[in-house]
Amino acid sequence: MSIQAVRGTRDIHGEEMQKWHRAEQVFRDVAVAFSYQEYRTPIFEQTELFKRGVGQDTDIVGKEMYTFEDRGGDSLTLRPEMTAPIVRACMEHSLLHHNPIQRLWYAGPQFRYDRPQKGRYRQFHQFGAECIGSPHPEADAEIILLAYEALRRYGVTSFTLEINSLGTSDVRSAYRAALIAFLEQHAGQLSEDSQKRMHANPLRVLDSKDERDKTVVAQAPLLRDYLDDASRAHMEAVLVLLDAAGVPYRVNPYLVRGLDYYNHIVFEFTTDALGTQNAIGGGGRYDPLFSILGGGEQPAVGFSIGIERMILLHDAEHADTAEKPAPHGVYISAIGDQARLPVQIIALRLRRKGVHVVTDLLRRSVKAQMKDANRENVAFCVMIGESELADQTAVVKNMITGEQVTVEQGNIESVVLQHE
């Protein structure tokens, strides 16, 4: 059998590529509007970064990382997420010494060894932003608004912003003890996964999708009843900002997120339109991460959106209105062998002026070139044959109206650029 792409990875091409370009453009524009700087980190890092940063007991570190030893014997991992690498970079380059607030955004591939299905891949892509340096609710709100604006500007609407507070680490340890005690009493009714998890990572039982767990969880003590005044006030202030900005949300007391570095606000953008993969994006405040990684105390908040899921959601919402892209660019057709070389030179001249030009590379008949021009969906077809070569002209056909004019070869661009 011929070699195929690795399970859980996808090739992106053709019409889908245009959707990616548009998504990337929207992210860039929104990030710039919020004054975030792009940051690119390597695709692999020391394994230790994720073990410590994301947390030993998480699914990501426990069973989803692509970890390998390189030829020098170092343990490396293909990045499963971007927050730990951004914090590593921030510390390594002392970014906060230069500016006490770092607003950074990124887009790129991530790797998780999960069971592939629609919307879940082993190589997937995230767009995200991290606001580092502020402990205040304005920073949380800014990050949520940035994510919300990106989704809205891309044109998706059928999602819910779910939000919760995990409080401080003291709040969580008190709650954790109460939750473990409760789960122990109901251990027999829990799924096997949750029984395994309930001591190491009991909060994850709260957002289990297993019906048996959901029934138990419905009776469980709620984290919000354990929140201290400062945590409550922080959450309240973020919600007031969201209300003022007109961003709808739903407080979900069971939302805990699957990564260990969070405290205070956590949030997720969820949808019913993508089957079981219901999270399009998520994030939260992760004040503990800098000290976990040895960088002292440093408040931070951020989010990531899954680009594949965002595009799938857009497709689901716009299934009936998928339209053919507008005709664009010029096809230059050589009529007869004599014209082939001049056509290539005219094409180069036009390309240098910014015109999108296609030419025939298969030495096809005129009829076959016309067919090709239609397939390429160009706005104009320029035809150059023997008589045009002799008097330095070209026939320019408007592919939309069918109208044809003869112009000097040096004037082709004035006709076609008018339309661009």
Site residues, ligand HAM (CB under 6 A): 81-83, 112, 114, 120-121, 124, 126, 128, 130, 258-259, 279-284, 286, 302-304, 306, 308-309
Cα gap 199→149, rounded to integer Å = 39
Nearest approach, Cβ of 270 to ligand HAM (angstroms)?
9
And the tokens for 123? 């190589």
Residue closest to ligand HAM, measured at CB: 306
- Closest distance between ligand HAM and the C-beta of residue 112, in Å? 5
Identity of the residue, 82 or 399, whose beta carbon is nearer to ligand HAM in the bound complex: 82
In angstroms, what is the minimal distance from the CB of 142 to ligand HAM? 13
By the 8 A CB rule, do 113 and 65 touch?
yes
With respect to ligand HAM, which residue has the nearer C-beta, 85 or 202? 85
Distance CA 12, CA 31 (A): 24
Q: Which is nearer to ligand HAM, 55 or 283 (CB)?
A: 283
Q: In angstroms, rounded to a whole number, what is the distance separating the alpha carbons of residues 193 and 210?
A: 9
Instruction: Of 119, 207, 112, give the one whose Cα is nearest residue 166.
Output: 207
Judged by beta carbon, residue 85 or residue 329, the one nearer ligand HAM is 85
**410-414 long-range contacts, CB within 8 A, separation 24+:** 412/330, 412/346, 412/350, 412/382, 413/350, 413/353, 413/355
- Cα–Cα dist 265/285, whole Å: 5
**Residue 124 or 175: which CB sits closer to ligand HAM?**
124
- In whole angstroms, the minimum distance from the beta carbon of 53 to ligand HAM comes to 10
Strand pairing class (279-285; 102-111): unpaired
Min dist CB 160 to ligand HAM, Å, is 13
**Shortest distance (Å) from residue 121 CB to ligand HAM:** 4
Beta bridge pairs of residue 104: 37, 130
Shortest gap between Cβ of 116 and ligand HAM (angstroms)?
A: 8
Residues 6+ apart with CB under 8 A from 20: 12, 307, 311
Taking the complex as a whole, the smallest distance from the CB of residue 48 to ligand HAM amounts, in Å, to: 17
What does the alpha-carbon distance between residue 198 and residue 176 come to, in Å, rounded to a whole number?
Answer: 10
Closest CA to 302 of 43, 24, 149, 84: 84
- CA-based nearest residue to 150, from 31, 278, 22, 277: 31
In the complex with ligand HAM, the residue whose CB is nearer, 55 or 302, is 302
If the CB atoms of residues 112 and 186 are measured against ligand HAM, the closer one turns out to be 112
User: Of 44 and 121, which has the nearer Cβ to ligand HAM?
Assistant: 121
Q: Collapse the DSSP code of 402 into the 3-class scheme (helix H, G, I; strand E, B; otherwise coil) and give the result.
A: coil
